[in-house]
Amino acid sequence: MNNEHSITLPTAEELLKSGAQFGHSAQRWHPAFAPFIFKEAKGIHVIDVRKTVPALESAVDFLVKAVEKEARVLIVGTKKQASAIVQEMGEKFGAYYINDKWPSGLLTNFKTVSQSIQKLQRLQELHLKKRYVLPKKELLAIQREIEKLKKRFNGVMFMDRLPQIMLVIDTRYEKIAVKEARALNIPIIGVVDSNCDPRLIDYPIPSNDDAIKAIRLLFGVFSEVLNKFSSKRLIPMREQFARRLVDLERAVEEEHRIKVASETPTISTAPTVTPREESKSGRTVRVTSFRAISELKLPEAVIEKLTQAGITSVEQLKEKTLDELKGLKGIGEKTAEKIISIVKKNGK
């Protein structure tokens, strides 16, 4: 079924096959949802999908007109059934999205929350720039903070101002997001189940909001709208930032490689002769030489990491403490302990 914008809309039969008609138990219903109920069967409310189609068509008409004027869209769906669909849609069609826990105040306190969004970008760059400067413990702390912020803000990382439209899966589950959008008069298009209040939503679409097939069917329609009519301005911004991180990592690695090469001592394979004592019979000498770390029979990967850090002899390893070894890139605590143990046994 197509509308005036050539957007393919599902038929009532397709909605039935996706399970869109199954509401919640009759005991959990919201009285304001009554106009969308077809009947009650075995204690479950059955949604009238014949009313879902025109409701979806109205929402599509509004969304098309808005995105043609480059309105910014925020997609919200944080529960398990919706999370992957929301992320896929946001990334593919260049929309903002929230698919983990809703960041309280994202809309109503945007100026403050946006500082955390900007912090995510700064930390990702800082983690790369300081990977060979900061201690391993501090780098891990930064990495944990990055992962924490990415879960909450990755989908809105370039949101420099408030969105003009919000798409919501399960308006009751996302009640805080709905409340914030209503407070700022941001139009809401939302999938509403029988336990939701459709009066809170500008464009309510009555449907099962737990069935993955139904969610994909409905949001597939909105995906088509974004694909055909949106500017997709976020896609190049995200790609550019990703390239910047890759370029930064390469530059840091190259700088570190040059630094290590310049600091690595040139070790002669010939023995080093040093004076020891003077005797009546003449000058006596002691012959010493550097022992290569390959003699310790360490794994090749470990030898490579040590060499990259400028450690090429047993004598150099003897001077390193456990903490110093742990601070080397690619050398964990267990590996460092193993190196210390092997040096003590075989490095005498």
Confidence of residue 181 (pLDDT cuts 50, 70, 90): very high
221 within domain boundaries: yes
Torsion of CA 203, 204, 208, 213, to 10 degrees: -10
**What residue type is assigned to position 17 of the chain?**
K
Confidence of residue 290 (pLDDT cuts 50, 70, 90): low
Considering the domain architecture, whether residues 125 and 243 belong to the same structural domain is answered as: yes
Considering the domain architecture, whether residues 83 and 178 belong to the same structural domain is answered as: yes
Q: Is residue 264's pLDDT more than 80?
A: no
The total number of structural domains that make up the chain: 2
162 within domain boundaries: yes
Confidence of residue 263 (pLDDT cuts 50, 70, 90): confident
Considering the domain architecture, whether residues 238 and 319 belong to the same structural domain is answered as: no
- How far, in Å, CA of 184 to CA of 335, rounded? 55
72 within domain boundaries: yes
135 within domain boundaries: yes
Residue owning tokens 């929309």: 95
Nearest 5°: CA angle at 23, between 20 and 27?
A: 180
Q: What is the pLDDT at residue 324? A: 79
Considering the domain architecture, whether residues 200 and 309 belong to the same structural domain is answered as: no
- How far, in Å, CA of 244 to CA of 251, rounded? 10
Q: What is the pLDDT at residue 301? A: 77
Considering the domain architecture, whether residues 187 and 50 belong to the same structural domain is answered as: yes
Considering the domain architecture, whether residues 234 and 287 belong to the same structural domain is answered as: no
Confidence of residue 97 (pLDDT cuts 50, 70, 90): very high
pLDDT by residue (tens digit) across 49-62? 999 999 999 999 99
Q: Residue 329: give the domain boundaries.
A: 272-346
Considering the domain architecture, whether residues 240 and 276 belong to the same structural domain is answered as: no
Confidence of residue 270 (pLDDT cuts 50, 70, 90): very low
Domain containing residue 307: CATH number: 1.10.150.20
Considering the domain architecture, whether residues 240 and 297 belong to the same structural domain is answered as: no
265 within domain boundaries: no
What proportion of the chain, given as a percentage, has pLDDT over 70?
91
Position with higher pLDDT, 169 vs 313:
169
Nearest 5°: CA angle at 207, between 201 and 212?
A: 115
Sign, CA dihedral 156-194-185-228, equals positive
Q: What residues are paired with 37 via a beta bridge?
A: 47
264 within domain boundaries: no
Domain containing residue 124: CATH number: 3.40.50.10490
- How far, in Å, CA of 297 to CA of 318, rounded? 15
Q: What residues are paired with 166 via a beta bridge?
A: 74, 188
Q: Is residue 153's pLDDT more than 80?
A: yes
- How far, in Å, CA of 332 to CA of 114, rounded? 36
Considering the domain architecture, whether residues 276 and 236 belong to the same structural domain is answered as: no
Nearest 5°: CA angle at 311, between 298 and 340?
A: 50
Tell which residue, 196, 202, 227, has the closest CA to residue 92.
Answer: 227
202 within domain boundaries: yes
Kindly report the pTM of this predicted structure: 0.73
Residue owning tokens 């992962």: 147
Tell which residue, 226, 232, 214, has the closest CA to residue 82.
Answer: 214
Considering the domain architecture, whether residues 319 and 219 belong to the same structural domain is answered as: no
Strand order in the sheet with 203-206: 96-98, 73-76, 165-169, 188-192, 203-206
Q: Is residue 272's pLDDT more than 60?
A: no
Q: What is the pLDDT at residue 346? A: 72
Nearest 5°: CA angle at 321, between 318 and 326?
A: 120
Considering the domain architecture, whether residues 209 and 340 belong to the same structural domain is answered as: no
Residue owning tokens 């944990």: 144
**What residue type is assigned to position 144 of the chain?**
R
Q: What is the pLDDT at residue 284? A: 46
pLDDT by residue (tens digit) across 187-236? 999 999 999 999 999 999 999 999 999 999 999 999 999 999 998 889 99
Q: What is the pLDDT at residue 2? A: 65
Tell which residue, 175, 215, 206, has the closest CA to residue 83.
Answer: 215
What's the half-sphere exposure (Cβ side, CA atoms, 13 Å) at 301? 5
258 within domain boundaries: no
Considering the domain architecture, whether residues 66 and 199 belong to the same structural domain is answered as: yes
